[in-house]
Amino acid sequence: LAQLITQVTGRAGRGKKAGEVFIQTSQPQHEFWQDLINEGYPQTAQKLLEQRKEMLMPPAGSLCVIRAEDKQEQLAIQFLTEVLAIFNQHNQQQVLLLGPVPAIMEKRAGRYRAQLLLSSQHRKPIHQLLDHYIDVISALKLARKVRWSIDIDPIDLL
């Protein structure tokens, strides 16, 4: 986002013409906006990279999100709870499991959405866990009822 804003501000003023950019937000006091305004893009980017490293998020780590959605709110959560139980059987702490939780955009097109996050320093443990259990997960009764997907290093968590 900071990079996009930097690009927009660069296009606002061309040559000798001064430009002005207005950003509309409901959270102007948020740390991100204050850092971007007061410290600039390079420092803000560095700070965000350090935060991502602490949380094992790309590019410092690998992240996977398993999403589930259904017209009945509880079915998506229940499916992901079953997936979590399967992973917990043999996960040797190489993969951090977070959730299941409702998605940030909890309801879309009449369907309730939930997600289970998998995080690790390296991509390999996540892939091994998924490879080992994908058939077991696919065979779950709820796997045929809910819509679900796996996204490795997702662009967003919406």
Strand 62-70, strand 96-108: pairing: unpaired
37 Cβ partners below 8 Å, 6+ apart?
Answer: none
The tens digit of pLDDT for each residue in 118-145 reads 999 889 999 999 999 999 999 999 999 9
Residues 14-62: pLDDT tens digits? 777 777 878 888 998 999 889 888 988 889 889 988 988 887 777 888 9
Q: By percentage, how much of the chain surpasses pLDDT 70? A: 97
Tokens matching residue 86: 């399967």
Domains of the chain: 2-54 (no CATH), 62-152 (3.30.70.600)
CA angle at residue 133 from 143 to 155, to 5 degrees?
75
**Predicted TM-score (pTM) of this structure:** 0.72
Q: Which residues contact 110 (CB under 8 A, 6 or more apart)?
A: 71
Q: SS3 of 88, please?
A: helix
pLDDT at 83 over 90: yes
C-alpha 143 chain-centroid distance: 22
Tokens of 78: 């229940």
